[in-house]
Amino acid sequence: MPAPATSVQYVKGIGPRLAEVLAAKGIHTVDDLLHYLPFRYEDRLNPRGIAELRAGEMATVIAEVRNSGLFRTRRMPIFQMTAGQGRARLKCIWFNATYLRDRFKPGQTVALYGKVEQDHYGGELQIVQPQFEILGDADDTSSDAAAQKAAASLEIGRIVPIYESAGQGRLSSHWFRRIIHTTLETLPPDLPDPIPEAVRQHLSLISPREALWKVHWPEPGESLQDLQSSRTPAHIRLIFEELFFVELGLELKRRQQKAQTGIAFRLDEGVRSAIKKILPFHPTGAQKRALKEIASDMAQPSPMRRLLQGDVGSGKTLVAFEAAIIAIENGYQVALMAPTEILAQQHYFSARRILEHAGYRVVLLTGSLEDSQKRDIRRHIVQGDAQLVIGTHALIEQKVEFAKLGLVIVDEQHRFGVLQRFKLMKKTGEPGNSHVGRAAPGRPAEQSSAASPEPDVLVMTATPIPRTLALTLYGDLDVSVLDEMPPGRVPIVTRCLPDDRSPEVWDFVRKQAAAGHQAYVVYPVIEENEETELKAAIKMYKELSKKIFPDLRVGLLHGRMEPDLKDQVMRLFQKGELDILVSTTVIEVGVDVANATVMVIEHAERFGLAQLHQLRGRIGRGAAKSCCILMTGGKVSEDGERRLDAMVRTTDGFQIAELDLELRGPGEFFGTRQAGLPSFQVANLIRDRQLLEAAKLEAATVLAGPNAEISKEEIDRAVRHMRTRWQGTYGLVEVG
For residue 594, the partner it binds in Mg ion, ligand ADP, none, with Cβ less than 5 to 8 A by kind, is: ligand ADP
For residue 50, the partner it binds in ligand ADP, Mg ion, none, with Cβ less than 5 to 8 A by kind, is: none
- 433-462 binders of Mg ion (CB under 5 A): 456
40-43 and 125-128 strand pairing: unpaired
* Structural contact between residues 328 and 318, judged by C-beta atoms closer than 8 angstroms: no
Residue (263 or 308) nearer to ligand ADP, CB: 308
Residue (176 or 348) nearer to ligand ADP, CB: 348
- 455-494 binders of ligand ADP (CB under 6 A): 462, 486
At a CB cut-off of 8 Å and minimum separation 6, what does 334 contact? 324, 327, 328, 387, 388, 389, 405, 406, 407, 408, 409
Return the residue of 29, 60, 173, 314 that touches ligand ADP, per CB under 6 A: 314
For residue 136, the partner it binds in Mg ion, ligand ADP, none, with Cβ less than 5 to 8 A by kind, is: none
Judged by CB under 6 A, does residue 552 bind ligand ADP? no
Return the residue of 47, 130, 313, 676 that touches ligand ADP, per CB under 6 A: 313
* Contact track, ligand ADP, 587-606, x by CB under 6 A: -----x-x------------
Closest separation in Å from C-beta 320 to ligand ADP: 8
DSSP reduced 3-state for 581: strand
Residue (286 or 457) nearer to Mg ion, CB: 457
C-alpha closest to that of 559 among 340, 303, 237: 340
* Contact track, Mg ion, 262-291, x by CB under 5 A: xx----------------------------
Judged by CB under 6 A, does residue 678 bind ligand ADP? no
Chain centre distance of CA 415: 7
Judged by CB under 6 A, does residue 283 bind ligand ADP? yes
Return the residue of 29, 60, 257, 287 that touches ligand ADP, per CB under 6 A: 287
Q: What angle do CA 702, 705, 710 make, to 5 degrees?
A: 75
Residue (313 or 555) nearer to ligand ADP, CB: 313
Residue (37 or 390) nearer to ligand ADP, CB: 390
For residue 592, the partner it binds in ligand ADP, Mg ion, none, with Cβ less than 5 to 8 A by kind, is: ligand ADP
Segment contacting ligand ADP by CB under 6 A, of 100-108, 306-314, 324-332, 676-684:
306-314
Judged by CB under 6 A, does residue 618 bind ligand ADP? no
CA distance 459 to 143: 63
CA distance 438 to 595: 42
For residue 605, the partner it binds in Mg ion, ligand ADP, none, with Cβ less than 5 to 8 A by kind, is: none
Closest separation in Å from C-beta 482 to ligand ADP: 7
Return the residue of 39, 95, 99, 281 that touches ligand ADP, per CB under 6 A: 281
Closest separation in Å from C-beta 459 to ligand ADP: 13
CA distance 484 to 466: 16
Residue (311 or 329) nearer to ligand ADP, CB: 311
Judged by CB under 6 A, does residue 382 bind ligand ADP? no
Residue (317 or 366) nearer to ligand ADP, CB: 317
Residue (329 or 588) nearer to Mg ion, CB: 329
For residue 214, the partner it binds in ligand ADP, Mg ion, none, with Cβ less than 5 to 8 A by kind, is: none
Question: Helix count (H) and strand count (E) of the chain?
Answer: 25, 21
* Contact track, ligand ADP, 504-543, x by CB under 6 A: ----------------------------------------
For residue 736, the partner it binds in Mg ion, ligand ADP, none, with Cβ less than 5 to 8 A by kind, is: none
Closest separation in Å from C-beta 322 to ligand ADP: 11
Judged by CB under 6 A, does residue 338 bind ligand ADP? no
Judged by CB under 5 A, does residue 406 bind Mg ion? no
Residue (284 or 330) nearer to ligand ADP, CB: 284
Q: Which helix (H) or strand (E) covers residue 512, if one does?
A: helix 502-514
Judged by CB under 6 A, does residue 230 bind ligand ADP? no
Residue (294 or 598) nearer to Mg ion, CB: 294
C-alpha closest to that of 576 among 590, 555, 561: 555
Length of the chain: 736
Segment contacting ligand ADP by CB under 6 A, of 192-200, 277-285, 490-498, 648-656:
277-285
Chain centre distance of CA 715: 30
547: buried, middle or exposed (CB in 10 Å: 19+, 13-18, 0-12)? Answer: exposed
At a CB cut-off of 8 Å and minimum separation 6, what does 97 contact? 70, 77, 78, 79
Q: What is the DSSP secondary-structure string of 120-165?
A: TTT--EEEES-EEEEEE-TT--SS-HHHHHHHHTTTSSSEEEE---
End-to-end CA gap in the chain: 29
Closest separation in Å from C-beta 354 to ligand ADP: 8
Q: Is the dihedral of CA 454, 460, 465, 467 positive or negative?
A: positive
Q: How many residues bind Mg ion (CB under 5 A)?
A: 5
C-alpha closest to that of 421 among 601, 611, 675, 202: 675
Judged by CB under 6 A, does residue 284 bind ligand ADP? yes
Closest separation in Å from C-beta 406 to Mg ion: 8
Q: Amino acid identity of 358? A: A
Q: How far is CA 460 from CA 285, 366, 457, 482, 609, in A?
A: 18, 20, 10, 11, 20
Q: What is the DSSP letter of 166?
A: B
Return the residue of 166, 318, 479, 569 that touches ligand ADP, per CB under 6 A: 318
C-alpha closest to that of 220 among 62, 41, 48: 41
Q: How many residues bind ligand ADP (CB under 6 A)?
A: 18
DSSP reduced 3-state for 308: strand
CB count in 10 Å sphere of residue 329: 20
Q: How far is CA 187 from CA 19, 151, 162, 665, in A?
A: 20, 19, 21, 34
CA distance 393 to 602: 31
Q: What is the DSSP letter of 358?
A: G
DSSP reduced 3-state for 490: coil
Segment contacting ligand ADP by CB under 6 A, of 60-68, 176-184, 309-317, 468-476:
309-317
Q: What angle do CA 392, 676, 311 make, to 5 degrees?
A: 60
Q: Is the dihedral of CA 255, 256, 261, 266 positive or negative?
A: negative
Q: Which residues bind ligand ADP (CB under 6 A)?
A: 281-284, 287, 310, 312-318, 462, 486, 592, 594, 621
Q: Which residues bind Mg ion (CB under 5 A)?
A: 262-263, 298, 300, 456
